[in-house]
Amino acid sequence: MFNQYLGISPKSDLLLLQMLGAKLNKRSFLHINSTRAGGGVAEILQRMLPILGELGIDARWEVIEGDSRFFDITKKIHNALQGHEEKIAKDMWQYHFNINRKNAEKINLDADAVLIHDPQPAPLIEFRKTGLWIWRCHIDASNPQKNVIDHLCQYCEKYDAAIFSVAKFTRAMAVDEFIIPPSIDPISEKNRALTDEEINKTLHKFQIATDRPIILQVSRFDRFKDPIGVIKAYRIVRKYNDCVLILAGSLATDDPEGEEVLNEVREYAANDPDVYILLLPPFSDKDINALQRTATVILQKSLKEGFGLTVSEGMWKGKPVIGGAVGGIPLQIVHGVTGFLVHSVEGAAFKIRQLLNNPEMAKRMGETGKEYVRKNFLITRQIRDYLSVWYSMENKGKSVLEL
């Protein structure tokens, strides 16, 4: 599998990966999150574990179990970290802790390095046995609700280190904080090249005609992705440019608000035949791939975003991407070069119109974007970074390490 990245990933990443794999050979690396399906974290872990294994690292992935009350609480924590006001009472925090305690009784937490993803399993630190423990935050925590982040930090500061996706999500913590953006896997079903037959199969399944330009946003149905805003932008574009809009997404098992938002979006679209709202089952990677490859312009008009994997996905397919100037999106989109950053519905509409009316610019932008992703946002880089953090924590105090 590792060899499949030759000719795709930068050579330096592959070389460093192999060297770090040799240094950490046969050591155990445990990842824990709260869902095996739906959302970017699960997607990355699915791809990362086999590669770690090939590098000689004993990698394992465990998923904590929780009931609907637990996931309601953790969704509120998630929203509060993203700056949305939520009331999280003492008994809710206690419930969060208790569910983690129950999971700690079932999961083998022994490993040389343990990476805990996001707030859901954060309290597991209280049941730590051995090894290096790192808390990995994928959320846009640039402007969190203070009492919520303070409470969460009571756990996070017991870790040996923390990882955030973007510098502005970090805060003054008493532990080492690393900045590692997430990534896409170029050879996965979501991102590999597709045949015309495969693409047409998807288009036929959803009855999508390609006689007009397609504007596409792929995301969970979540208010922070602003699907209503996307429809508003589309309606502005339609005044002068005939095109169709596709909003495609799945429901994540740890997101209880998804169905509510989906219904809001359907109502707002009001049965417009040129607005396709596609609820995809989990693991619809090939369909998403096909839709992205068919799109003329790809949107990720988020209001808050941890990273926005769909931005890199779209860029990898050579498409021009318009993204909300939030979270990790500006890391991927260099405005005017690898895509466009926008701050409003009107801004999104304007840039869509520019791209529809200038296919040469759109093509150049897509090509530049693809190369930018290749250098910076492939999974080999992210694994390289995780292993680098692990190795550097075992050589603490050194800012230069010669291999």
Cβ proximity to other proteins: between 6 and 400 the closer is 400
Piece of 4-12, 62-70, 106-114, 274-282 that binds other proteins (CB under 8 A): 4-12
Cβ proximity to other proteins: between 26 and 396 the closer is 396
Q: Please state the closest distance from residue 61 (CB atom) to other proteins, in A.
A: 22
Of 377, 362, 336, nearest to 214 (Cα)? 362
Nearest-angstrom CA–CA distance, 288 and 293: 9
Binding pattern for the stretch 323-362 against other proteins, x by CB under 8 A and - elsewhere: ---x------------------------------------
Q: What residues numbered 94-153 form the site for other proteins, per CB under 8 A? A: 142-143
- The dihedrals phi and psi of 214, each to the nearest 5 degrees, come to -115, 125
Piece of 48-56, 210-218, 288-296, 384-392 that binds other proteins (CB under 8 A): 384-392
Binding pattern for the stretch 11-50 against other proteins, x by CB under 8 A and - elsewhere: xxx-xx--x-------------------------------
Cβ proximity to other proteins: between 149 and 236 the closer is 149
- Torsion angle in degrees (nearest 10) through CA of 137, 329, 12, 5: 90
Q: Please state the closest distance from residue 166 (CB atom) to other proteins, in A.
A: 9
Q: Please state the closest distance from residue 310 (CB atom) to other proteins, in A.
A: 21
Nearest-angstrom CA–CA distance, 270 and 259: 17
Nearest-angstrom CA–CA distance, 34 and 223: 21
Of 294, 293, 313, 290, nearest to 202 (Cα)? 290
Does position 6 bind other proteins by CB under 8 A? no
Give SS3 for 386: helix
Q: Please state the closest distance from residue 43 (CB atom) to other proteins, in A.
A: 22
Cβ proximity to other proteins: between 13 and 43 the closer is 13
Cβ proximity to other proteins: between 63 and 326 the closer is 326
Question: Could you tell me the two tokens for 252?
Answer: 């994540």
Q: Please state the closest distance from residue 334 (CB atom) to other proteins, in A.
A: 8
What are the residues whose beta carbons fall under 8 Å from the beta carbon of 277, sequence distance 6 or more? 247, 248, 262, 265, 266, 269
Measured CA to CA in angstroms, residue 316 lies from 97, 111, 319, 377, 384 at distances of: 40, 35, 7, 9, 20
Q: Please state the closest distance from residue 56 (CB atom) to other proteins, in A.
A: 17
Asked if 308 and 373 touch (Cβ cutoff 8 Å), the reply is no
Asked if 348 and 232 touch (Cβ cutoff 8 Å), the reply is no
How many other C-beta atoms can be found within 10 angstroms of the C-beta atom of residue 53? Answer: 15
Asked if 203 and 197 touch (Cβ cutoff 8 Å), the reply is no
Binding pattern for the stretch 162-201 against other proteins, x by CB under 8 A and - elsewhere: --x--xx-xxxx--xxxxx---------------------
Q: Please state the closest distance from residue 392 (CB atom) to other proteins, in A.
A: 4
Q: Please state the closest distance from residue 271 (CB atom) to other proteins, in A.
A: 38
Footprint on this chain of other proteins (rule: CB under 8 A): 10-13, 15-16, 19, 142-143, 164, 167-168, 170-173, 176-180, 326, 384-385, 388-389, 392, 398-403
